[in-house]
């Protein structure tokens, strides 16, 4: 090969390398494989930010809502907030010897997940009331932060904050850069999520909508405090999600993402009965190797009715196994 051919090949290589780097840098969803879901997301965003297009939406109206458990981070084999409550029970058990024979606390102390799951919503609420109440909001925030710094997932053996989905982090960033306001709308406790939502997701605490318990204002030692009481005031799940959106946000979303039947009404509220362009997405957990595979028969994150409606309503269903290059950061 003569010198001129070598020079030509060298220049061609540099050009191709530079082009590939530039393309990668401009790709907002690098952890997503090329496919229908990625294309649908980008096409929607480009349509609503195009001032010359019929689907243009002003920045103030670009509201995006996301479920948390199973949508932004993992949720199997139990919700992470349940693991927090279980760890709290173990911490407090020395002061409650009666728990050794009292369900659902007995199941927690014996790590009997089958019995604990069988206790259902009533058992979960009992745990929440005991472990989340009887303290100020500031004290509860400190407890949550400390737990996240030290706790690890029982089966994945990683800190919970490392079990967020990298493709969804990219999506949040992509929307934010295009003047969307991202909100978490979750069945999880609002004060459980707010201490870390901004650091992990870039979503400030005022944009977190969740379930809540009664909180009372008091003056203690001359200082104003908010004291958490053992009484549920609002469950932000299923039909509660549109209500929570209306109460906390005051605008109907144009973009929504969930992963289970608990998100069905939020997806319906976002997309149905409107002529303007709207987007609804569902994370379908299909990757038993890198994460978990579950849908219709799962006791956590059951996905059945929403999966059926996705087809008839034109919602985007993301096949985690096929469409995500990586799961966690």
Residue 6 lies in a domain: no
pTM check: above 0.85: yes
What the block records as the tokens of 210 is 């969740």
Residue 5 lies in a domain: no
- Round to whole Å and give the CA distance between 119 and 307: 27
Instruction: Report whether 71 contacts 259 (CB < 8 A).
Output: yes
Q: What is the pLDDT of residues 132-144, one digit of tens each?
A: 999 999 999 999 9
What dihedral do alpha carbons 123, 206, 166, 303 form, nearest 10°?
40
- Round to whole Å and give the CA distance between 236 and 146: 25
Q: What is the pLDDT of residues 21-32, one digit of tens each?
A: 434 458 999 999
CA-only gyration radius of the chain, Å = 23
Confidence of residue 2 (pLDDT cuts 50, 70, 90): low
Average pLDDT of every residue of the chain = 93
Confidence of residue 125 (pLDDT cuts 50, 70, 90): confident
Residue 197 lies in a domain: yes
Residue 69 lies in a domain: yes
Instruction: Report whether 324 contacts 71 (CB < 8 A).
Output: no
- Find, among 215, 209, 212, the residue nearest to 234 by Cα: 212
Q: Which residue's entry shows tokens 């109206």?
A: 61
Q: What is the pLDDT of residues 237-258, one digit of tens each?
A: 999 999 999 999 999 999 999 9
Residue 106 lies in a domain: yes
What the block records as the tokens of 49 is 């930010």
- Round to whole Å and give the CA distance between 198 and 231: 27
User: What kind and span of H or E run contains 266?
Assistant: helix 264-271
How confident is the model at residue 4, as a pLDDT? Answer: 54
Residue 39 lies in a domain: yes
**What is the domain count for the chain?**
1
Confidence of residue 19 (pLDDT cuts 50, 70, 90): very low
Q: What is the pLDDT of residues 82-120, one digit of tens each?
A: 999 999 999 999 999 999 999 999 999 999 998 998 887
Residue 10 lies in a domain: no
Model confidence at 15: pLDDT above 70: no
**Strands 255-258 vs 223-234: parallel, antiparallel or unpaired:** unpaired
CATH number, domain of 292, equals 3.40.50.1000
Backbone φ and ψ for 292, nearest 5 degrees, come out as: -140, 155
Residue 22 lies in a domain: no
Print the domain residue range for 257.
31-323
């Amino acid at each position: 090969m003569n010198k001129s051919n070598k020079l030509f090949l060298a220049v061609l290589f540099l050009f191709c390398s530079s082009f590939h780097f530039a393309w990668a840098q401009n790709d907002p969803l690098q952890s997503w494989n090329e496919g229908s879901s990625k294309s649908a997301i980008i096409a929607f965003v480009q349509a609503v930010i195009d001032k010359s297009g019929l689907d243009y939406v002003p920045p103030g109206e670009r509201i995006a809502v996301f479920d948390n458990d199973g949508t932004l981070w993992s949720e199997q084999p139990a919700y992470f907030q349940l693991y927090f409550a279980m760890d709290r029970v173990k911490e407090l058990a020395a002061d409650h010897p009666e728990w050794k024979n009292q369900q659902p606390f007995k199941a927690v102390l014996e790590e009997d997940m089958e019995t604990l799951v069988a206790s259902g919503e009533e058992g979960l609420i009992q745990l929440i009331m005991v472990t989340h109440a009887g303290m100020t909001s500031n004290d509860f925030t400190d407890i949550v932060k400390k737990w996240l710094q030290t706790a690890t997932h029982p089966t994945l053996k990683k800190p919970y904050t490392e079990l967020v989905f990298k493709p969804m982090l990219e999506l949040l960033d992509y929307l934010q850069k295009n003047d969307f306001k991202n909100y978490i709308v979750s069945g999880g406790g609002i004060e459980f999520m707010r201490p870390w939502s901004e650091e992990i997701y870039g979503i400030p605490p005022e944009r977190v909508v969740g379930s809540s318990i009664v909180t009372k204002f008091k003056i203690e030692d001359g200082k104003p405090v908010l004291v958490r009481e053992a009484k549920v005031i609002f469950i932000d799940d299923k039909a509660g999600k549109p209500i929570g959106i209306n109460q906390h946000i005051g605008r109907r979303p144009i973009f929504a993402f969930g992963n289970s039947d608990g998100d069905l009404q939020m997806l319906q509220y976002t997309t149905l009965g409107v002529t303007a362009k709207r987007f609804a997405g569902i994370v379908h957990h299909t990757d038993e190797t890198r994460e978990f595979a579950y849908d219709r028969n799962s006791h956590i994150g059951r996905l059945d009715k929403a999966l059926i409606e996705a087809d008839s309503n034109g919602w985007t269903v993301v096949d985690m196994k096929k469409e995500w290059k990586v799961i966690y950061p």
